[in-house]
Amino acid sequence: MSSRVDPVTGVVLAVAVLAVSSSGPLTAFAAAPALAIAFWRNAIAVAALTPFAAARRGAEFRGLVRGEHRTAGWFSVAAGVALAVHFSTWMPSVQLTSVATATALVATQPVWQCAIASMQGKRLPAATWVGISLAVVGAVIATGADFEVSATALTGDLLALAGGLMAAIYTALGERARVTISTTTYTSVCYSVCGVLLLGVCLVGGVPLVGFDGATWLAILGLVAGAQLLGHSMFSFALRKVSATTVSLMILLEVPGAALIAWVWLGQVPRAGALPGLALLLLGVAVVIVAGTRTRDVTPARAVSS
């Protein structure tokens, strides 16, 4: 696959980066509980995807229940559970700490992916361990700076890190599911399970799901159209033209993109003390992604756009 990016693919990647970069700022802007926002972005996405998927992939859906795709069906369900935990940790983090810090910490997903692979007995190249070390040191510096600001900001940082871990688990399960079923079928099942779980959490926890102002509903719709549907779709399209490594590195641009949007739109000036740590963290993640292409045993999965 060519590493050169043609003009059309370049535009597609730019749109995708902009779409996923809006996720953090939109979540921080919305005057609604993070769990409610997470539920609605999944529920609306399911409503948009399922009729199309059912019409095109009816036989495949039936195979998830009583056919050759039952194993993939269970992996899809498990991925939905992991995605629900991912949203339940990362989205609240954006409302507790800065958008820049939360987005950078959740971008540690490839690092967690390598840690999981190592625990499974897979050998990692030396460069990967260098990248992991840089990312860990960067995360410590960034969270340490937030600890000096407030306990709330530190809680947001820890939730964002947990969100990155759950994104890695979600991706690992999703890759197993998509070996035998289409992406459309997989996402329909995964998003449905995620939405049902988030609905249950909101109902049990007494989290309000309605009664928001018009601007908040527009923000939620923006999340669905942007990060949930457009961002993922554009990155998937680009994978047909460029390598997964290129796409993974492009997704890292979500971090400065989200920080810039939050600065201009929400007035969130990045904390000076956290900037060196965030830069080191992103450098470490980039090293991990690039190193993953040099071994057949471990290839860090493409990061999940937020």
How much helix, strand and coil, in percent to the nearest 5, is found in the chain?
80, 0, 20
Q: How far apart are alpha carbons 241 and 220 in whole angstroms?
A: 31
300 and 288 Cβ atoms separated by less than 8 Å: yes
Q: How far apart are alpha carbons 29 and 27 in whole angstroms?
A: 5
Q: How far apart are alpha carbons 163 and 77 in whole angstroms?
A: 18
Q: How far apart are the first and last CA of the chain?
A: 26
Structure tokens at 138: 């960067």
Look at residue 296 in the predicted model and tell me its pLDDT. 47
Tens-digit pLDDT string for the chain (306 aa): 444 667 888 888 889 899 999 999 999 999 999 999 999 999 999 998 888 888 888 889 888 887 788 999 999 999 999 999 999 999 999 999 999 999 999 999 889 988 888 887 888 889 999 999 999 999 999 888 888 778 999 999 999 999 999 998 998 898 888 888 888 889 899 999 999 999 999 999 999 999 999 999 999 999 999 988 888 778 867 767 777 667 778 888 899 999 999 999 999 988 888 899 999 999 999 999 888 765 544 445 556 667
How much is the pTM? Answer: 0.87
Q: Inter-axis angle of helices 275-291 and 109-119, to 10 degrees? A: 50
263 alpha-carbon distance from chain centroid: 21
Q: Which of 154, 187, 217 is nearest to 83 (CA)?
A: 187
E strands, the chain, in order: none
Q: How far apart are alpha carbons 89 and 82 in whole angstroms?
A: 11
Look at residue 2 in the predicted model and tell me its pLDDT. 46
Question: Residue 241, SS3?
Answer: coil
